[in-house]
C-alpha cells in the first residue's frame, strides 16, 4: 500500500514538473503568443493605466489583427470604461514596480499571473492526501495552448481559468480529507479561489456559487467540514453582489454592456428561431414594433433597437422560461448554432502572433501539436458534441447519485463522481450562460471554461474506469 502511494506521488510530481517546465517554455522561449486586442482591453486598462502598446496606434483602440508584446504604463485611469475585477490585481502588482511612461514586456505581467496560479496550486496539492488526480487536472489546463494564450492578454479570461482550476483542485482535496481534520491552509486557498472567480467577470460569478453548492453538499457529510461551508457559501454570494455593486456604472445605462448583451441574446439569437415571432414577442412582454429588430445584433450598422424597442433594456431573462416552454426551438436551436460557432474553442478572429515573428511561428506549431484540443478538433464536430451532450446528461444523473446515495459510495468513487458532475455542470453552464447571455457573439471566448469542463469529465471517467478495473481484478483474484 505504501509502495503504491509512493509510486502515485512520483507520477504526480512528474506531472507537476512537466506543467511548470511547459509554462516556463511558453513564457520565456522567444516568440510571443497571445490573443490580439478586440477593444476589450480598455476595460482592464482603464482601471490601472496599463495599456497594450503598439507604436503609432491609439492605446484605446482595438487591434484584432495581431497582439502586442509590450505594455505602456501611463497611469491614465478612466472609471467610466473600467470594469473592476480580481483580474486587475496582477496588473496592479506590476505597476508598483513601474514609473509613468515605462514600456515593459507583456511577459512581466503574464509571469505574475502564471506563477501565482502555479504557487497556489502546487501548495494545495502538496498538502493533499491525494496528489495524482489534482496534478493531472492542473496539467490538463496549463498545457492547453488555448488557455495559456490568455495569460498574454488583458482579457479577464485567464483569471476565470485560473480560479476555476484552483476551486476544482481545492474542493477535490478537501473531499479527500474525509474523517480527518481539514487543512486550514487548504481552506484558505479555496477562499482565495472563490473570491478570485466570484470577482473576475459577471458571467462567471454565478458559476462560483454553483460549484460551491455541489461541493458543500459533500462537505456537509463530514462533520469536521460543516463550519467552513457557511464561509464558502457566504463568500460566493458576497462576491456576486460585490461585483454587481462595484461595476453598477457599466451595467445600468443606455449604452451599457447589459444593453448590448440583451440585444444580441433576444434579437440576434433567440427570437429568429421563434415559430411565431409576434407570439414570441408577446410572451416576452415586448411590443410588436420590436419585430423590426429581430435578426439584428448590437454590432450591425442597421441596429436601432434602443430607439425602436427601448423596452428590451428592462426585460428580464427570467421571461425566457415562458418562451422556451411555449416554443422549444427558441431554446434548442440557439444552443445548436452556438456550438457550431465555438467549434474551434479559441477566438479564431483574433491574431495570436506578431507578423514576421519566425520564433513565434515555430513555437505555436509546437504548442498546437501537444494541446489536447488539437485532437478534439480532428473529431467530427457533430459526433463530439453528441458525446458531450451525453456526458452532460450523465452528469445530472451523477449529481443525483451524490445527492441521494452519497453514504453508499467509497471515498475514491465519490471524488470521481464529484469531478464528473462539476465538469458536466461547467460544460452546460459555459454554453447556456454564453448563448443566453450574449447570443453568438465571441462564442469561444465567452464559453472559455467549456474545454476545462470536458477535460475534468474525461479525467474523472478515466479514473472511474481504472478503479472499476482494479476492483474487478481484485475480485477475480479472490474468487479465482
Domain residue spans in the chain? 2-248+375-479, 251-330
Q: Which three cell numbers stand for residue 469?
A: 478495473
pLDDT given at position 5: 62
**Which of the residues in the chain have pLDDT under 50?**
1-3, 254
pLDDT given at position 410: 87
pLDDT given at position 255: 53
pLDDT given at position 3: 47
Do the beta carbons of residue 412 and residue 404 sit within 8 Å? no
In the block, cell 454592456 appears at 257
Do the beta carbons of residue 103 and residue 74 sit within 8 Å? no
Say which residues have a Cβ less than 8 Å from residue 60's Cβ, sequence separation at least 6: 42, 51
pLDDT given at position 194: 98
pLDDT given at position 472: 74
Helix, strand or coil for residue 38? coil
pLDDT given at position 166: 98
Return d(Cα 79, Cα 260) in angstroms, integer: 19
Per-residue pLDDT of 46-76, as tens digits, reads 999 999 999 999 999 999 999 999 999 999 9
Q: Which among 306, 290, 270, 274 is positioned nearest to 436, based on CA atoms?
A: 270
pLDDT given at position 314: 83
pLDDT given at position 253: 53
Q: Which three cell numbers stand for residue 274?
A: 421563434
Q: Which among 23, 49, 230, 62 is positioned nearest to 143, based on CA atoms?
A: 23
What backbone phi and psi angles, to 5 degrees, belong to 102? -70, 140
What backbone phi and psi angles, to 5 degrees, belong to 316? -85, 145
Q: Which among 303, 321, 229, 219 is positioned nearest to 259, based on CA atoms?
A: 303
In the block, cell 485567464 appears at 158
pLDDT given at position 106: 96
pLDDT given at position 311: 85
Per-residue pLDDT of 345-381, as tens digits, reads 999 999 999 999 999 999 999 999 999 999 998 898 8
pLDDT given at position 325: 93
Do the beta carbons of residue 299 and residue 333 sit within 8 Å? no
Amino acid at each position: 500500500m505504501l509502495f503504491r502511494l509512493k509510486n502515485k506521488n512520483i507520477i504526480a510530481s512528474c506531472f507537476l514538473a512537466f506543467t511548470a517546465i511547459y509554462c516556463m517554455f511558453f513564457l520565456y522561449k522567444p516568440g510571443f503568443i497571445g490573443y490580439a486586442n478586440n477593444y476589450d482591453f480598455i476595460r482592464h486598462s482603464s482601471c490601472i493605466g496599463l495599456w497594450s502598446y503598439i507604436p503609432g496606434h491609439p492605446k484605446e483602440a482595438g487591434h484584432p489583427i495581431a497582439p502586442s508584446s509590450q505594455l505602456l504604463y501611463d497611469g491614465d485611469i478612466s472609471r467610466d470604461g473600467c470594469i473592476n475585477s480580481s483580474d486587475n490585481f496582477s496588473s496592479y502588482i506590476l505597476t508598483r514596480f513601474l514609473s509613468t511612461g515605462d514600456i515593459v514586456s507583456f511577459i512581466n505581467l503574464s509571469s505574475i499571473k502564471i506563477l501565482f496560479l502555479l504557487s497556489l496550486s502546487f501548495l494545495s496539492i502538496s498538502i493533499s492526501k491525494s496528489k495524482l488526480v489534482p496534478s493531472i487536472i492542473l496539467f490538463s489546463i496549463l498545457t492547453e495552448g488555448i488557455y495559456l494564450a490568455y495569460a498574454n492578454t488583458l482579457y479577464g479570461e485567464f483569471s476565470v481559468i485560473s480560479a476555476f482550476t484552483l476551486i476544482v483542485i481545492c474542493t477535490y482535496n478537501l473531499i479527500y480529507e474525509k474523517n480527518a481534520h481539514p487543512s486550514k491552509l487548504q481552506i484558505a486557498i479555496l477562499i482565495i479561489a472563490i473570491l478570485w472567480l466570484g470577482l473576475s467577470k459577471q458571467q462567471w460569478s454565478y458559476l462560483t456559487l454553483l460549484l460551491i453548492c455541489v461541493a458543500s453538499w459533500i462537505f456537509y457529510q463530514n462533520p469536521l467540514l460543516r463550519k467552513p461551508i457557511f464561509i464558502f457559501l457566504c463568500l460566493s454570494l458576497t462576491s456576486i453582489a460585490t461585483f454587481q455593486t462595484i461595476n453598477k456604472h457599466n451595467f445600468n445605462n443606455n449604452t451599457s454592456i447589459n444593453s448590448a448583451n440583451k440585444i444580441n441574446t433576444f434579437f440576434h439569437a433567440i427570437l429568429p428561431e421563434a415559430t411565431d415571432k409576434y407570439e414570441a414577442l408577446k410572451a416576452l412582454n415586448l411590443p410588436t414594433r420590436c419585430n423590426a429588430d429581430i435578426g439584428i445584433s448590437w454590432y450591425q450598422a442597421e441596429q436601432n433597437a434602443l430607439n425602436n424597442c427601448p423596452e428590451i433594456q428592462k426585460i428580464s431573462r427570467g421571461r425566457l422560461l415562458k418562451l422556451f416552454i411555449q416554443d422549444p426551438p427558441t431554446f434548442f436551436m440557439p444552443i445548436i448554432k452556438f456550438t457550431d460557432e465555438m467549434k474551434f474553442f479559441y477566438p479564431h478572429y483574433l491574431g495570436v502572433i506578431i507578423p514576421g515573428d519566425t520564433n513565434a511561428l515555430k513555437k505555436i506549431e509546437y504548442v498546437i501539436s501537444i494541446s489536447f484540443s488539437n485532437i478534439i478538433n480532428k473529431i467530427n464536430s457533430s459526433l463530439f458534441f453528441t458525446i458531450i451532450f451525453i456526458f452532460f446528461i450523465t452528469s445530472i444523473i451523477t449529481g443525483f447519485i451524490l445527492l441521494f446515495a452519497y453514504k453508499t459510495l467509497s471515498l475514491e468513487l465519490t471524488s470521481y463522481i464529484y469531478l464528473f458532475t462539476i465538469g458536466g455542470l461547467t460544460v452546460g453552464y459555459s454554453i447556456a450562460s454564453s448563448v443566453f447571455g450574449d447570443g453568438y457573439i465571441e462564442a469561444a471566448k465567452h464559453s472559455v471554461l467549456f474545454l476545462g469542463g470536458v477535460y475534468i469529465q474525461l479525467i474523472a471517467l478515466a479514473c472511474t474506469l481504472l478503479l472499476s478495473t482494479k476492483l474487478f481484478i481484485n475480485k477475480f483474484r479472490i474468487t479465482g
